[in-house]
Amino acid sequence: MKNPSSQNKKNSATLLLWCVIGVILIGSVVWLLLPKNETADVTAQLWVEGELKQSIYLPEADDGDFTLEEYGHNVTLSIQDHAIRFLESDCPDHRCVKNGWLRRVGDQSTCLPNRVSLILVESDTVGVTLPG
């Protein structure tokens, strides 16, 4: 004969588990459906050897590729559809290139051997674009 109190504890634990799973599932669906701040007002900051060299206002930036040879580095960046990325680099591991497209505030990528970083920040000033 089963003890009724142990059966109630088992049912309560099962109910609690299903409630937790339900909350996680609903939270995940809501998070996926929320609009993402893709390129609403994003500026890409280009840092070379610890110095801010350029600010690129991505919503108005022209698509294209550009090199950082003027700063003494064999690195090519690419802008396309209001996003930016490392296209090519002479670093040994190419992690910066593998990071892919940056488009949201907080996205960042760094080429450690070349000491070059791209950091996307919320735009609060008029941006400067790289010469074409």
Q: Give average pLDDT by consecutive 10-residue segment, the chain, 132 residues.
A: 68 87 88 63 93 92 93 93 94 93 93 94 64 52
pLDDT for residue 127 = 47
pLDDT for residue 82 = 92
Residue 9 to residue 119: CA distance in whole angstroms: 52
Question: Helices in the chain by DSSP H: which ranges?
Answer: 4-33, 95-98
Backbone angles phi, psi at 7, to 5 degrees: -65, -40
Angle at 95 between CA 92 and CA 100, to 5 degrees: 140
Share of the chain residues as helix, strand and coil, in percent rounded to the nearest 5: 30, 35, 35
Residue 35 to residue 30: CA distance in whole angstroms: 10
Q: Is the pTM of this model over 0.75?
A: no
Which one-letter amino acid corresponds to residue 64? Answer: G
